[in-house]
Amino acid sequence: MWRSGWRTSGVLRRLSGRSASLGAWRWASTTACERALLRYRVGEKIHGFTVSQVTSVPELTLTAVKLSHDGTGAQHLHLAREDRNNLFSVQFRTAPADSSGAPHVLEHTVLCGSQRYPCRDPFFKMLNRSLSTFMNAFTASDYTLYPFSTQNPKDFQNLLSVYLDAAFFPCLRELDFCQEGWRLEHEDPSDPQTPLVFKGVVFNEMKGAFTDNERIFSQHVQSRLLPDHTYSVVSGGDPLCIPDLTWEQLRQFHATHYHPSNARFFTYGNFPLEQHLKQIHEEALSKFQRIKPRTAVPAQKPWDKPREFQVTCAPDSLAAGSSEQTTISVSFLLPDITDTFEAFTLNLLSSLLISGPNSPFYKALIESGLGTDFSPDVGYNGCTRDAYFSVGLQGIAEKDIQTVRDLVDRTLDDIIEKGFEDDRIEALLHKIEIQMKHQSVSFGLALTSYIASCWNHDGDPVELLKLGSQVARFRKCLEENPKFLQEKVKQYFKNNQHKLTLSMKPDDKYSEKQMQLETEKLKQKVNSLSPEDKQQIYEKGLELQAQQSQPQDASCLPALKVSDIEPRIPFTEVEVALAAGDTPVQYCTQPTNGVIYFRAFSSLNTLPEELRPYVPLFCNVLTKLGCGGLDYRELAQQVDLKTGGLAAAPHVLPDDSHLDTYEQGVLFSSFCLDRNLPDMMHLWSEIFNNPCFEEEEHFRVLVKMTAQELSNGVPDAGHLYASIRAGRMLAPAGDLQETFGGMDQVRLMKSVAEMTDIKPILRKLPRIKKHLLNCDNFRCLRWRIRWTASSGPSAGVRRSGSLCPRTWWSHLSLAVKSPDWRATWAGDAAASELEASRRCTLTLIKPAPKGPGRHSLVTRKLVMDPTFKPCPMKTHFLFPFPVNYVAECIRTAPYAAPAHASLKILARLMTAKFLHTEIREKGGAYGGGARLSYGGIFTLYSYRDPHSTETLQSFLKAIDWAKSGRFTQQDINEAKLSVFAAVDAPVAPSDKGLDCFLYGLSDEVKQAHREQLFAIRHEDLVDVSNRYLGAGRSTHGVAVLGPDNASIAKDPSWVIR
């Protein structure tokens, strides 16, 4: 996977995973941390390694142990932490000299078989032979990273063995290079009369990647600002240069870069370090001698004067005819990222400059009305040896380029003169404090990603983790010099001659020109071939096709057994009580490390149909427009000072028992430090009771940003949009899902953003509020803190101060029950809207299931449309992409039905044993497979696919394969392992009890489903294949996002959009 040019900007997001999202956690106990601190000593020898540093990092509740390998010089960092989700990664410095994509193609090819595990594609096969919580590989601009994580010690050893052998002893077979990288091959490999074309997984992946104008711009910023060395090229590969890479060059790149002396090993969690070191030494490092790697990236030579460039891109197909599609940014070279405190300071400075409506560049650029959003890659980028900062606008008119440049310069002058408000700095430091406590399910992965760039250039990764000491030093600098930050702005921005101004404008012929360049490249390659070369290409194509079709013996690979899976799930205790009179509140006591999490769900059942398309917009702006006595800037400041974020999002929640029944509503979520609970609830109270819908100009700004983000996201999420569209007419919830999160929503927001008069849209918001923010529609979920020895004053549940239930209820009553809300329901207009909304649907009240520690006070207000009939629909969304996103959806069985478990296993079986081979290996798509939704929609999909109708034929073949039962018991067991890896994935303390709260799904129901999964037999899978997937059995829907297709255009059964 190529991720150059994309980074989670800022120390906060890199460590937390998501800023205002609540789906992340990490353990708060220090048992493994304390053991490591007592166990290891500097100078100690362990299995060929020598300990060089042992450091406690209390702010992250871990102990860092640094080691080096005596024989090879390989570096190893172990972070001991009481977290069951243990992680391993190995990274190599891989700085390419050209854009042929050598490191990226190598990342793919090493995973295609190794000396100890010579079967084809052991990486993908291990997805079905383990209980891993994460497996992947990443190619960055100057390093390649191979991480995995698992909660099972035996699984950890199995995966470590496969990863070590893949990285250090890969087969690197020529046919694997042809499949994964690129090849010349006949359109039909079995017919030498068909034309020769370019094929290959990475080739198609990168063609898809560069359909995204944001990626194009980000790559140009990096290449133009850092032109002297490796950053001037595309590490993932330019599609026009990938065909220049040879198999021999790939092998040579591996020999010079994938050596232990150029490697950095990372382990995290509570598994014993000694076992890791022993295995790494014995299976890999002991077979090498130390070398001096020549992979260092030199510093960029500073310029003596600024530079500027202009590039082109494809027009935004969702804004046809718009003249405001130009992007501009101003970028500045910053110091080496290995200076950790300077990097920390500039990271914080970047946040002060661009984050939120109180930041100077937001005020100057976003609120100028000149553009739609910040330019791509805005802010501090520390993913290259020399960091850089960029700021600018996208969606501007070309004539406004100079205006934006002038605004950037004036804003910097203003900052140097006036500085930053103390409250903004405090809000940012509070954000660091709460994110250090906020708990992430993939904290090990976040840490390895966070330190990778700095460590890659020989920076100190442990210093990077000492956020507490960096914050203290930062505060001291501010105390000693109140103009500390202003001086940094003057030094690195105002007086910096290494300054790049880059603009990008649309070219109507861009896609055509790219296609022409590829055609010329292909012609050049073909014309250079002799008859013997062409015959060899034909024979190699047949050989590769035969290899791809041949059943593989994977018995050499290690594997867990189904018996290794825990038979029962751990039950989660929840309590339900009524607060604020009649609002049901679900409590769940968890070790949340001094953080309180809150969620509330409000039904949309009474909302008139005409307002439903605007619910996502309402959710997006509700917490950003101001409330009560606070304008939008003051509200943003209070949110940053007192919470980890306030969020609202529309949800469509299928019923577990009936395909045609669902719940619709909005989920409100937030979290805060214990001490700030009253403030957080007061903010919600003001937002719920007194939202401000009068700020027309700021509303327009938010609309433009939302529309731009949705439009920019289509190339990366095309398969998801295709899947939503394909399922639209299969169940009543499908149409609402399309309305809330499909292409209909993208197109609606683009049209709203282009409206001259936005007042009619703004007037819809109070009407939505009247139906949504009503205490009769609410239910709430809250996590109590369970203190641990390291995170609080005493063991047990804290029931005093701001956490006592009575006080909590008083906070809640302010938020969800007030005279203002009751008043909004008064009057004839509200009554008539309510009556109109009830004409087409039936509302069913469904109590949450009873169980140990539960009461049936929480009820779900389900919707059923008695007139609904599923119908097939085929939609082709035309986009100027060189690749396709294809989805076919089938109406099957809901979660509680016995067939659902069989279909879930079947989806994984079809992915691993049929679709992966047909769509990725043979078809050249970057990805593809099958999945089953909770609501019973079975989806077959492909991602960045050079084919469309051919892929739909592959879906039909996959169904025929499943119906024929051509799979073994071993195949079924592997599918079960893969399914249980997802079912048993770590759950955040902030997510415990959430299934019960949202779906009414009890632990007893989940346990029954678990037992159904264990019991699945071969005949069950054949039965559901025939009963649900076959033609005429269930209703199918199809959608494709991609370029013109002649066969689809001729077929009247398709709707072309």
- The residues annotated as belonging to the active site are 107, 180
How many residues are listed for the chain in this entry? 1057
**What is the Cα–Cα distance from 1036 to 188, expressed in whole angstroms?**
29
By C-alpha distance, which of 603, 617, 646, 920 is closest to 750?
Answer: 617
Residue 44 one-letter amino acid: E
Q: Report strand pairing: 884-891 vs 183-186.
A: unpaired
Residue with tokens 């067991």: 973
Integer Cα distance of 477 and 469 in angstroms: 12
Closest CA to 978 of 667, 610, 518, 559: 559
Write down the residue that tokens 């957080």 correspond to.
Answer: 680
| Closest residue by Cα to residue 621 from 554, 696, 699 | 699
d(CA 385, CA 383): 7
Q: State the residue for tokens 């014309």.
A: 527
988 to 741, 992, 998: CA distances (angstroms): 25, 6, 16
Tokens of 213: 């104008």
Residue 146's H or E segment, with its range, is strand 143-150
How far is it, in rounded angstroms, from Cα 979 to Cα 209?
Answer: 29
Q: Which two tokens stand for residue 212?
A: 């995204």
Residue 289, helix vs strand vs coil: coil
Strands of 873-878's sheet in order across: 927-932, 937-945, 884-891, 1036-1042, 873-878, 1054-1056
Q: Please, are residues 310 and 503 in contact by the beta-carbon 8 Å criterion?
A: yes
**Backbone angles phi and psi of 65, in degrees to 5:** -120, 115
Per DSSP, helices labelled H in 438-530 are: 443-456, 461-465, 467-480, 484-489, 510-527
Burial class (CB in 10 A: 0-12, 13-18, 19+), 763: exposed
| Apex 152 CA angle, 797 and 447, nearest 5 | 70
Whole-angstrom Cα distance, residue 1029 to residue 1038?
Answer: 14
Helix (H/G/I), strand (E/B), else coil: 608: coil
* Whole-angstrom distance, CA of residue 423 vs CA of residue 276: 46
Residue found under tokens 């359109």 = 187
Each as own residue / partner, the long-range contacts of residues 950-956 (CB below 8 Å, 24 or more positions apart, any chain) are 950/923, 951/884, 951/886, 951/919, 951/923, 951/925, 952/886, 952/888, 952/1038, 954/915, 954/918, 954/919, 954/923, 955/888, 955/915
Q: 825 is written with which tokens?
A: 């329901």
Closest CA to 34 of 790, 760, 851: 790
**DSSP state, 378?**
-
How far apart are alpha carbons 299 and 335 in whole angstroms? 9
Residue type, 573: E
Collect contacts of 67-71 with beta carbons under 8 A, ≥24 apart.
Answer: 67/277, 69/260, 69/281, 69/285, 70/45, 71/285, 71/286, 71/288, 71/289, 71/290
HSE-up (13 A, CA, CB side) for residue 388? 29
CB 900 within 8 A of CB 893: yes
